[in-house]
């Protein structure tokens, strides 16, 4: 989903240089770029739209954009190998790439099944599967017009995540964390407490940590909640290569969305 990709692009310059304020310059820094988060999100979309093996789609796209860099250590080894076996990861990559599953889902259970399908090929640890499923369900519920409060209650009840916090409460002590359990609740809070799409991305970047991934997770949910302003949509779209645009267009057609 473009919301996740915009979050990735906007957060890309702050991953190793956190900014603990929402009042940073323009949403798109002059040095902003898409990262591995975008590549993997497109791969998941490709797998779902074209009924491909998710592991093979991830390998194909990851190798095509290998020089883009930013890969997690274990994921990079998996990408380079000939194996399609998972490696029990609970990294936040499970959640940052899963937004297409939430976009196409027809029910909560469908969102969970799709999330598991595209996640278990690498992140088959229970926390990895949980983080991806929670993100996909949040997107599905937002698409149904559920309120932020009701989405938060549903996610807390079903996945046992503590979402009773605000970005202002998270920001002072939050540290860099690449696990689902240390990223997904915070990212969901950033989306669910936002006033609009851009506010969600600014919330996510402002808490620090793994900024591009936190913002990618929040961005996918925020898109479903608020939509994306046309100017930001056009700017984000311009960052990604034509082959990725083709996949995203097919994804939105399948979802019946613009």
The percentage of the chain sitting over the pLDDT mark of 70, rounded to a whole number, equals 99
User: Which residues of the chain register pLDDT less than 70?
Assistant: 258
Predicted pLDDT of residue 222? 98
Q: Model-level pTM?
A: 0.98
The domain tally of the chain equals 1
Mapping DSSP onto H, E and C, the string for the chain reads: CHHHHHHHHHHHHHCCCCCCCCCCCCCCCCCCCCCHHHHHHHHHHHHHHCCCCHHHHHHHHHHHCHHHCCCCHHHHHHHHCCCCCCCCCCECHHHHCCHHHHHHCCCHHHHHHHHHHHHCCCCCCHHHHHHHHHHHHHHHHHHCCCCHHHHHHHHHHHHCCCCCCCHHHHCCCCCCCCECCCCHHHHHHHHHCCCCHHHHHHHHHHCCCCHHHHHHHHHHHHHHHHCCCHHHHHHHHHHCCHHHHHHHHHHHHHHCCC
**Domain membership of residue 250 as a residue range:** 2-255
Predicted pLDDT of residue 36? 97
CATH number at residue 222: 1.10.4080.10
Predicted pLDDT of residue 68? 87
Predicted pLDDT of residue 9? 98
């Amino acid at each position: 989903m473009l919301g996740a990709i915009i979050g990735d692009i906007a957060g890309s310059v702050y991953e190793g240089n956190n900014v603990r304020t929402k009042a940073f310059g323009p949403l798109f820094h002059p040095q902003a770029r898409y990262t591995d988060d975008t590549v993997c999100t497109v791969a998941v979309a490709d797998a779902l739209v074209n009924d491909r093996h998710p592991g093979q789609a991830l390998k194909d796209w990851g190798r095509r954009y290998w020089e883009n860099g930013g890969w997690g250590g274990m994921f990079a080894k998996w990408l380079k190998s000939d194996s399609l076996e998972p490696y029990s990861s609970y990294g936040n990559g499970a959640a940052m790439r899963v937004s297409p599953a939430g976009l196409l889902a027809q029910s909560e259970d469908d969102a969970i099944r799709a999330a598991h399908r595209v996640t278990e090929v690498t992140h088959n640890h229970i926390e990895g599967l949980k983080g991806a499923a929670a993100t996909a369900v949040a997107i599905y519920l937002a698409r149904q017009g559920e309120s932020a409060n009701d989405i938060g209650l549903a996610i807390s009840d079903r996945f046992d995540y503590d979402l009773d916090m605000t970005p202002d409460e998270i920001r002072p002590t939050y540290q860099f964390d690449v696990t689902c359990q240390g990223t997904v609740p915070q990212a969901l809070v950033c989306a669910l407490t936002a006033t609009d799409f851009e506010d969600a991305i600014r919330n996510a970047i402002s808490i620090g940590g793994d900024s591009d991934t936190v913002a990618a997770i929040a961005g996918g949910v925020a898109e479903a909640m608020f939509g994306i302003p046309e100017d930001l949509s056009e700017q984000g779209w311009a960052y990604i290569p034509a082959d990725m645009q083709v996949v995203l267009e097919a994804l939105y057609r399948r979802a019946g969305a613009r």
